[in-house]
Amino acid sequence: MQKVPGKVECYKSIDTVSNIEDAVHYPQEFLNSLNPAGLPPHELSLKLGTPIMLFRNLSPPNMCNGTRLLIKELKDNVIVAKIIITDPAAGELAHVPRIPMIPTDLPIPFKRLQFPVKISFPLTIKKSQG
* Tens of pLDDT, residues 45-63: 999 999 999 999 998 888 8
Say if 2 falls within a structural domain: no
Task: Please state the length of the chain.
Answer: 130
DSSP state of 22: G
Phi, psi of 33 (to 5 degrees): -80, -15
Using the predicted structure, report yes or no on whether residue 1 has a pLDDT greater than 80: no
pLDDT at 11: 97
Position 3 in a domain? no
The residues near 18 (Cβ < 8 Å, ≥ 6 apart) are 102, 109, 110, 111
- Give the pLDDT of residue 123: 64
Is omega for the bond preceding 61 within 30 degrees of 0, making it cis? yes
* pLDDT of res. 130: 55
Q: Which pLDDT does position 8 carry in this prediction?
A: 93
- Residues 100 and 113: beta-carbon distance below 8 Å: yes
**How many angstroms separate the CA atoms of 51 and 62, rounded?**
16
Q: How many domains does the chain have?
A: 1
pLDDT value of position 107: 85
Domain span at 33:
9-128
Q: Is residue 104 part of a domain?
A: yes
Other Cβ atoms less than 10 A from the Cβ of 117: the count is 22
- pLDDT band, residue 41 (cuts 50/70/90): very high
